[in-house]
Amino acid sequence: MDGIPSSKTLALESPDPIVSGLDFSSIPPISIISTHFKDDEEDRVKAMLRQHGATLATDVSKAKVFFGRVGTKKRASFELRSRKFKVKEVTESRQDCRSKPAEGPSKRRKLSGSSTKPITIHDNGSTTEEEPSDCSETESRSAIKGVTPATSPDGPEQASSLTFYAGSKDDLIWVVRSDWLDACLAAGQLVAVAEYLVFKGIVLERPPPKHKSVSQSVTAPRPQITQNIVDRAKVDASKSELNNTSYQIHRSKRTLASSSHNPNFLSQTAHLLQKTTSEYEGVDSDYPAPPEWVQKRIKYSCQRFTPADSPNQDFIAQLKKIRTCRILLEDEIGVRAYSSIIASIAAYPYALSRPRELAQLPGCDERTVLLFAEWRNTGKIEEVEKYENDEEMKIMHSFYNIWGVGAKTARQFLKKNNWTELDDIIEYGWDTLDRVQQIGVKYYEEFLEGIPRVEVERIADKVRQHAVALRDHRITVTIVGGYRRGKPESGDVDLIVSHPELTATSGLVTEIVEALEASEWITHRLTTSLHNTHRNQNTLPFRSTKAAGAGFDTLDKALVVWQDPVWLTKTADLSNDPKANNPNIHRRVDIIVAPWRTVGCAVMGWSGGTTFQRDLRRYAKKVKGWKFDSSGIRSRVTGDVVELEGPGGVEGSPADAEKVVFEGLGLEFVPPEFRCTN
């Protein structure tokens, strides 16, 4: 996993005995980030920490140190946000970047010498952390470490406190890599945390404490009322500042409730539950035994069957709305996380009835369980309600639905250009759009209308007729995309064209498009590429100079606008007006040409849901050491082509070739209608 230490920590290898002299009692309350831990690893880490006196926070709202396999600031900030923490990053000031000798307690550097920089979401929606000053990594680490246990005159406990608190009265929070525990166990004492520190910040707002049941509250100690009042006052003040902002539409002087870069509803407390999650718990016999992929914690969706109709479709629909919100905010980590959660729930064959069932599914965490409990108790999710009622999100979503407009551009239309509807784009920004976006605006409503299966088949048949006329009857046209997964309507039509002879597919896509244009079936070309022909139809090289993600679809292809040139009253209409408009709807069609020797990879690469395809590439990388894309497979070790379909391809159909690819990857064949992960 990228950015995550790959080696197992010493704490996970075996239930080690207590290390004499190692004491974590001075460390602030610790919460474990379970992401990337396998099987019982998390429990063993907790046991190891408890054995050495650590305080483990049973309520995440009380935690100050988060401990887990987290390798980047971006991931750390996501984990904190998912737990409803609002924080500002603490970075070392430039004057503290110089290495200094260890000093006594009275002269230790205080936090006031540090600067705080907020975690911001830029106009493109992506979450970033500002980089520290220009001092070297070695110098920066030396300044952060302060006094280590080995040199501290005050002993390990005082050194540890300095490592985490640095003399500050602020509410600080730390995210620390799990291999810090390795270092402490190896040294037999606490070691400085700087080398293992992923993120450090000041807490602006903590999540609400866990709700206690009536029986618990009777015996629970009386809370610190004064401190709670102060905490609530801070929360109210921060919310007041957020709610006082507004978004002004400059041109029309209209005002929208602001969502700024990060809408308020993303950081608000979940709706108060009417029942505790424990009320849903029962004996194991109350719900069915989980399927094998759940028991084995199989995380790749290409290794399980995911039908289109899930018994948990209503809850999935809510999660999809949250994912759409993350897409519009360009929160890539959040999008991937929710995609994995949705795919896991969609593959679960039983209707979820208890949070405990959900918690056992790969990819589902505490946040997912809370959302499910809220939905079960109230029939809705507050975050979804706020998203659906946020005016700015509605506008961005309408822009995002324009063909050729992504989330970043949609935000720019609203935030930078102050456009709030399609008419604004046409009136004030038409000349700033590229040709694809102009066509997307022109046929906006038509492109949003689903294409019935019968019409998809007619389009495929017409493409095959023209391709056969250009070559011969051995031409194959395979309908992929949503149609192949069994969807009753498709957003567009995806077609894989192939031929057993290698020379027959070279440059074929251009010839097909020209023939269809001449017959008036194609009204516009959006894009045409001959990447594969220019590579002599070879598999994409392992090392590519293209941007990340750009190599997955490198086959020859044409993205076109399709319109049936025939209508019932055509003759009469044209006789009355030679320029009469064709009333038939415009459709989006993608024509992809694949050489026969890798057509199975092409069909496989264009048939699954988005998460299925992502996990297929991850599986090929992690399990097989291969790079998979729709042009073929290469070894990540040697860079050589892996010819699963043989040098000349598979005898039979493209669907037969796809089955050979599944077998070569060591995967059970998953029928297309069970790849519905998105």
Q: Report domain extents, the chain.
A: 10-205, 265-387, 390-448, 451-569+583-674
Instruction: Please state, in angstroms and rounded to a whole number, the distance separating the CA atoms of residues 38 and 302.
Output: 19
Q: State the pLDDT at residue 5.
A: 41
Domain 265-387, architecture per CATH: Orthogonal Bundle (1.10)
Q: Cα 256 from chain centroid?
A: 28
Q: Which residues of 187-211 are buried (b: 16+ CB within 10 A; e: fewer)?
A: bebbbbbbebbbbbbbbebbbeeee
Q: State the pLDDT at residue 178.
A: 86
Q: State the pLDDT at residue 451.
A: 97
Contacts (Cβ under 8 Å, ≥6 apart) of 526: 403, 404, 435, 436, 439, 559, 560, 561
Class of CATH domain 390-448:
mainly alpha
Tell me if 163 sits within 8 A of 194, measured CB to CB: yes
Q: State the pLDDT at residue 262.
A: 53
Report, as ranges of residue numbers, the positions in the chain whose pLDDT lies below 50: 1-15, 93-162, 166, 212-261, 267-284, 545-552
Domain 451-569+583-674 superfamily per CATH: Beta Polymerase, domain 2 (3.30.460.10)
Strands 493-498 and 587-593: parallel
- In DSSP terms, which residues pair with 451 in a beta bridge? 490
3-state SS class at 646: coil
3-state SS class at 284: helix
Q: What angle do CA 540, 545, 550 make, to 5 degrees?
A: 65
Q: Cα 76 from chain centroid?
A: 14
Instruction: Please state, in angstroms and rounded to a whole number, the distance separating the CA atoms of residues 636 and 641.
Output: 10
Q: State the pLDDT at residue 590.
A: 97
Domains 265-387 and 451-569+583-674 fall in the same CATH topology: no
Q: State the pLDDT at residue 245.
A: 32
